[in-house]
Amino acid sequence: MTTELPSPAADEPFASRRDLVTAAVTMAAAAGAAGAAGSAQAQATVDARRSNPPGMSTPAAYHHVVEVNGPHRTIYVAGQTGADATGKVAADFRAQAVQVFENIKTALASVGGSFDNVVKLTGYLTNIEANAPEYRQVRASYFTNRSALPASTLLQVPRLANPAYLLEVEVIAVLPPRA
């Protein structure tokens, strides 16, 4: 956007201060209006859908899946634990890890995705020394396409929301836009 400053009159060597201030205010107002219109347009195109897919528990305080539709769909899957749809927590670490990835598989399938669409994975373990190797084995069995592995972070935490949980994993996936 370009706005020209007022030209000085023939007998004035420079534009008056009033002319400069008026031009600056006009330019700022025009830029603000353009920015507001662009911002409103950007906000109007955001389409977020929240869900708790069948086959997963129905938490009261959050949704398991948030799908943002735009030029592409960004899918945010809340941290999944070793609990099944009824809330029953698997007994040992390996069973919890498998349940975690089954929950993620269900969440991704609910929006038409798969593990190939995951771009970021964050894992939280309560005992990384004892369980990281087994976690990595289970994770690898779900991420079989070695050319589409996500960025990944693995952290140890002192405890999770329920003391029975031994791990929690959250993912972000990117899919083509919905038609």
Domains and CATH numbers, the chain: 1-44 (no CATH), 47-175 (3.30.1330.40)
Predicted TM-score (pTM) of this structure: 0.69
Q: Is the pLDDT of residue 169 over 60?
A: yes
pLDDT digits (tens, 9 = 90+) for 128-158: 999 999 999 999 999 999 888 899 999 999 9
Distances in Å between the Cα of 149 and the Cα atoms of 120, 166, 167 are: 9, 24, 20
More confidently predicted of 140 and 52: 140
pLDDT digits (tens, 9 = 90+) for 100-119: 999 999 999 999 999 999 99
Tokens of 121: 């994975």
Q: Which of 65-69, 155-159, 173-177 has the lowest mean pLDDT?
A: 65-69
CA 54 to chain centre: 21
